[in-house]
Chains A and B, each alone.
Chain A
Amino acid sequence: DVKVTQSSRYLVKRTGEKVFLECVQDMDHENMFWYRQDPGLGLRLIYFSYDVKMKEKGDIPEGYSVSREKKERFSLILESASTNQTSMYLCASSSTSGLKPLYNEQFFGPGTRLTVL
């Protein structure tokens, strides 16, 4: 079974701190994603990566950066955490196969609930 793990289930940080959220997948997937989930807003894409050292902005990249130095690991970085970044953060991965790599389900980690005080 595909397994996507996230470094922390719960995290509490203070405004202005630098925050690292780590995600690791064990299925050799090419694509990895970071979402935030807020009540009533569903999942919103922050960044995604389709290859090592490659990254693309999603719909809400402001205030975030990412790093993908190894295929299995995708990190989300909050350079200077703010209270409006309090949220549930979900990492996902998917494979690239066939002619249309978009058409593959995403496998999600359990999420990290981040609170910024």
Chain B
Amino acid sequence: GESVGLHLPTLSVQEGDNSIINCAYSNSASDYFIWYKQESGKGPQFIIDIRSNMDKRQGQRVTVLLNKTVKHLSLQIAATQPGDSAVYFCAEAPGYTGGFKTIFGAGTRLFVKA
């Protein structure tokens, strides 16, 4: 069935290092993917998205990679800062036939050590 999962529930990195958060998805019909960041006490906030006709997209200090062959998504954060500490969710939109549903993964908690 449709599911979005994460390889690691927690990730701890040193300030200044690069972070990589991974995500696996199971629906090969999904054609839109999003990463959200949720800080403590707040709702999720959009970081970056990517469509299935792309394999890489860059934003400010963040890069999303999409590998459709193995149905894998990753979020790379360059020069990780303490403010990056949060839970990160990947999400997929399973195409038009999926209606308006966005399927969220369980989340990865990122700890940044000073």
Give 1 or 0 for each of A46-58: 1 = CB within 8 Å of chain B CB.
0010100000101
- Contact call B51/A110, Cβ cutoff below 8 A: no
Q: Nearest CB to that of A111 among chain B residues?
A: B43
- Contact call A105/B46, Cβ cutoff below 8 A: yes
Enumerate chain A residues within 8 angstroms of B105, measured Cβ to Cβ: 42
- Partner pick for A90 among B44, B49, B95, CB 8 A cutoff: B44
- Contact call A110/B44, Cβ cutoff below 8 A: no
A47 to B101, CA, bound (A): 10
- Shortest Cβ gap from A109 to chain B (Å): 5
Enumerate chain A residues within 8 angstroms of B42, measured Cβ to Cβ: 110-111
Give 1 or 0 for each of B89-114: 1 = CB within 8 Å of chain A CB.
10001011011111011110000000
- Contact call B89/A102, Cβ cutoff below 8 A: no
- Shortest Cβ gap from A10 to chain B (Å): 11
Q: Tell me if B26 counts as interface (CB < 8 A to partner A).
A: no
Number of A-B residue pairs, CB cutoff 8 Å, is 59
Q: Tell me if A31 counts as interface (CB < 8 A to partner B).
A: yes
Highest count of chain B CB atoms <10 Å: which of A42, A100, A108: A42
Q: Tell me if B41 counts as interface (CB < 8 A to partner A).
A: yes
A102 to B93, CA, bound (A): 7
- Shortest Cβ gap from B107 to chain A (Å): 6
Enumerate chain A residues within 8 angstroms of B46, measured Cβ to Cβ: 105-107
- Shortest Cβ gap from A89 to chain B (Å): 10
- Contact call A103/B51, Cβ cutoff below 8 A: yes
Enumerate chain B residues within 8 angstroms of A40, measured Cβ to Cβ: 9, 106
Tell me the chain A residues, 74-117 only, with Cβ under 8 Å from chain B. 90, 92, 100-103, 105-111
Enumerate chain B residues within 8 angstroms of A19, measured Cβ to Cβ: none
Q: Which residues of A contact B (CB under 8 A)?
A: 4, 31, 33, 35, 40-45, 48, 50, 56, 58-59, 90, 92, 100-103, 105-111
- What 3 A-B pairs come out closest when comparing CB atoms? A108-B43, A43-B104, A105-B46
